[in-house]
Each structure stands twice: as structure tokens, then as C-alpha cells.
Amino acid sequence: MSDEESTPSHGSLTDAIAGPEELPDTARNLHPIRLTSFVGVMMVIEFFDLLLTQRLHFAVRPDSTAGSVAKTVSISGNVLFASLLILALATVFISRRATPRFALYVMVTYLCVATVNVLINIGTLVVTPEVGNASQNSLILDLALVYSALTLIFSLWYQVADTHLPGGALDFPENAAKPDDPPKWFDYMCVAFFTNSTFGPTLEGVRTRPAKALMMFQTALSLVVLVVLVARIIKAP
């Protein structure tokens, strides 16, 4: 075997990864990510984030350090979301070519910013004393928005991890009717939802340490959200 055959080629950031508008697993090529569905979930996350940020603006002074950090993170998330949305539109409606490699890095960066943003919102709901004066109905709506945002954000984290971590991240039960059918985004959303509600996966197995760390992080956040915010709802006027 020649050196040229034995050395893998990684390509440049603008090289196409695979088929049209897909980000596949570079090692196993089993679990493709469709850019359009990824951006669609991001749009819902952005909507929840904007709605929750608007609802909590009374609890954080805009001239404070916390207010400045929250504003910066929110703007960064909006810019990254707009960048990936433009990339998706260009890929799907204009060029019809395979998704460029750098889209993955934009996705991961966006998820990092979105995670920090939801952390800020959780911190505002848990720590800020002004939130304690809100009504029960208002706090229930805030809890539903945070819970939904957590589920959607971590569904994308699990999908990216399972697609690109060496050896994958999750083991899904085989579908007897379609044994070769790879997991779709909805499967990862179920994992994120069950981790939020039961504090761990139900039927899926966790393969790698990064995936376990993600699940531990999500479980810790969901415990704070459900325990602390439910206690605040009970005490609310």
C-alpha cells in the first residue's frame, strides 16, 4: 500500500462533506444531519429564547454586569443563527451542493452560545428575587419555555455528538421493521426529553464519555429547573 493510499485526506473547510445538504458521520457514514432540519430546530430555539428573554427583562437591570453579559450572549446567538440560516438557504435553494465542512463548526458554536443563553435565563429565574413576585401562571409559562429550550438544544447536541464523535455517542434499539434505518432528529429529541423528565435515557445506551458528560450536564440543569422553579411556583402569589 502506498503512502498516498494509507494517509487519510481531511480536505479544507470549504470541501463538501457528502450528499446534498447533509452532514454525515465522517467515520461510519451512518447518521447524517440534514442542515435544513437542524436550522428548523434552531428557529424554534430562537423563538423560545427571544420570548423568555423578553419576559425576564424586568428581573435584570440592563446597565448591570449580568444585563450586559446576557445582552452580548443573546446578540451573538442571533448573529450565529442568522449566519447558519443564510448558509442553509444558500445550500438548499441556490447551489444545491453538499454542505461545506465549516457548517459543522458554525453549528457547534451556535449550540455553545445557545446553551450559555439558556443558562443565563435559568440563573435569572432561580436567583433573581424579582421573579418571586411573578404570578403562578407566569412562572409556569417560564418553566415551560426553559424546559422546551433545554430539550431542543440538547437534542441537537446529542445528534452532533452521535454523528461526529469517534465510535458514536448513543446506541438505539434496533427497529425490527427497518433495521438499517438510521436515527433521525426526533430520536435524539426523545433522548433529551427523557433525560429532562426521568434524569436519564430510557432504552438508549450511552457509549462515550463526552456523551455521558452532556447527559450529566443536562440532568443537573433539569433538576435545578424542576426542583427550584416548581418550589417558586408553589410559593408564588
Backbone φ/ψ region at 161: left (φ over 0), alpha (ψ -120 to 50), beta: alpha
- State residue 77's pLDDT score: 72
Q: How far is the C-alpha of 86 from the C-alpha of 166, rounded, in Å?
A: 29
Domain boundaries, the chain: 30-172+182-235
- State residue 109's pLDDT score: 84
> Above 50 in pLDDT, residue 9?
no
Region 59-84: mean pLDDT is 66
- pLDDT tens digits, one per residue of 96-151: 555 666 777 878 888 888 898 888 888 887 777 666 677 778 888 888 888 999 99
- pLDDT tens digits, one per residue of 204-237: 778 788 888 999 999 999 888 888 777 777 776 6
Phi, psi of 180 (to 5 degrees): -95, 5
**The three cell numbers locating residue 191:** 433522548
* Cα–Cα nearest to 39, from 75, 76, 115, 91: 91
Listed in sequence order, the DSSP H helices in 128-228 are 136-164, 185-198, 209-223
Q: Which residues contact 222 (CB under 8 A, 6 or more apart)?
A: 147, 150, 195, 196, 197, 199
